[in-house]
Structure 1
Amino acid sequence: YMPAFLAGMSVARSLAAVYNVPLEVISHQENHLEAGLWSAGGPQAERFLLLHASGGTTDLLLCERREDSRYNLTQVGGSLDLHAGQFVDRIGVALGLQFPTGPALEQLAEQAEKPLELPVSVRKLDVSLSGPATAAMRKLEAGADAASLALGVEHTLAETFARLLRNGAAAYGVRDVILVGGVGSNKYIRKHVEEKLAKRRVRLWVPEGRFSCDNASGCAAVAWRLHKKND
């Protein structure tokens, strides 16, 4: 974990000791999962897939419910190079947008009539985003329309996620997937992925945007559920 997470752990340990209360430890991925589950209201299945797409993570995880109401998370796929947020920021910065560029790129993309075509690289449960990023930079250097390029980035990510989740659902026999993370809160991406998966009878669960990004609600959800169970 990065130092920011370890600093929070130190504070939590200190507070638990001072107030003589139990300390429940969860991972960053589990926090995103729990926040997503709480906001989206599901899935309730015993096994489902989680796609965490952000600036520092583009991971596909198999989630399996345990007897203690927690989840075992096993990474089964994801990006081999760039994370989704890195792809967005790399192109967004080149377009002159303020970092982090996700919200601004989404607004810019809304002005486009159609997306600029970029490659999609998905092989079973592995994806690559460095190729699409390089292609996008070349198109920008060649004078591509900014809005169309922004929409092209969104479309490439949406199609990448849809294919990855489709393959994952087939490989593990699940019918429910949940999408979290900053990039996962993009409205265009959510709509595209939902429509693509619906054709395969796979349901996409999405939390509110504010619960999709980094937040403490996942920790609170776990603590509330465990406390309720113990009561």
Structure 2
Amino acid sequence: MAGIGVSSAPRRIRGSYMPVFTAGLALARSLAAARQNGLWLTSHQEGHLAAGLVSAGGPETARFLLLHLSGGTTELIEVRRGQAGRFDLDLLGGTTDLHAGQFVDRVGVRLGLEFPAGKRLEELAEGASPGAESLLPSSVQGLKVSFSGVESAARRLADRGVSRPDVARAVEGCLARTVGKLIRAGCAQTGLTEVLLVGGVAANKFIRRELSRRLPQTVRLYWAEPAWSRDNAIGVAFLAEQALSPT
């Protein structure tokens, strides 16, 4: 064993902290000391990034964009490869209120789905009427997006008696348009055209199809495998192996 890797914080920036990470960090330190192994501290976000890179097979460039879409994160990030096991991450934009996954979960629960609702909302949307994906607007200003207003609008659709599958597909359509505009803005600002998408919301098949259709062919999308979009543990292990393995 080369060593032990652990997520010590949500992001690798000063002040990034959640109590849930302290238990894993304490255990990793104890195991590393007992086994006399090296210990590599990384972040939850870098774990998602690394898992995405491994499963998607790229990007392989020194700089690229990362779009992290989940229940707790909606961020567009410029990534620069650093030393082994490290990335330099520059936050470009993201949500000003609800995260993409929160939007999905809140509407899903309103539709009677169990929490977390992402997978079931995707299944429900398969029965939607043609055109239902356009029932909700998207709110994007440059590199900032908002989901609180469209979440209220989705609730109003349900209250008016719009079918559950149509509301579910409307949520997917809103997400696809919103994310597409955010990616376009990020590419225009940075000049980068390779984008890695990770996080649970990025596993949605409809959103994947729509983004591939809507974005110009000059933008190359790399999708983490659906199971790896939601799980960052393998990414943490990959980063620790890079950093701690003898060269």
Q: Tell me which interval the TM-score lies in, with the shorter structure as reference length.
A: over 0.9
Name segments (4+ residues, structure 1) moved above 6 Å.
none
Cα distance between partner residues in 2 of 1:78 and 1:139:
25
Which one-letter code corresponds to 2:227 in the other structure? R
Q: 1:39 — aligned with what? A: 55
Cα distance between partner residues in 2 of 1:156 and 1:21:
47
Aligned partner of 2:195 among 177, 187, 190: 177
Q: 1:224 — aligned with what? A: 241
Cα displacement string for residues 22-55 of structure 1 (whole angstroms, at most 9, x for unaligned residues): 1111111100000000100100011111111111
* Structure-2 change in CA distance of 1:69 and 1:224 (3 Å): closer
TM-score by length of 2: 0.89
Percent identity for Structure 1 against Structure 2 = 50
Aligned partner of 1:110 among 119, 126, 142: 126
8 Å Cα contact 1:16-1:22 kept in structure 2:
yes
Aligned partner of 1:202 among 215, 219, 232: 219
Number of residue equivalences: 229
Cα distance between partner residues in 1 of 2:117 and 2:124:
10
Q: 1:5 — aligned with what? A: 21
Q: State the Cα distance separating 1:144 from its structure 2 match.
A: 0.8
Structure 2 residue ranges without an equivalent (≥5): 1-16
Structure 1 residue ranges without an equivalent (≥5): none
Cα displacement string for residues 130-171 of structure 1 (whole angstroms, at most 9, x for unaligned residues): 111111111111111110110000010011111101110110
Cα distance between partner residues in 2 of 1:16 and 1:125:
41
Given the alignment of the two structures, is residue 212 of structure 1 paired with residue 239 of structure 2, yes or no? no
Aligned partner of 2:78 among 62, 67, 75: 62
Which one-letter code corresponds to 1:223 in the other structure? A
Given the alignment of the two structures, is residue 148 of structure 1 paired with residue 166 of structure 2, yes or no? yes
Given the alignment of the two structures, is residue 79 of structure 1 paired with residue 92 of structure 2, yes or no? no
Q: State the Cα distance separating 1:221 from its structure 2 match.
A: 1.1
Cα distance between partner residues in 1 of 2:97 and 2:232:
25
Which one-letter code corresponds to 2:222 in the other structure? W
User: More strand by proportion, 1 or 2?
Assistant: 2
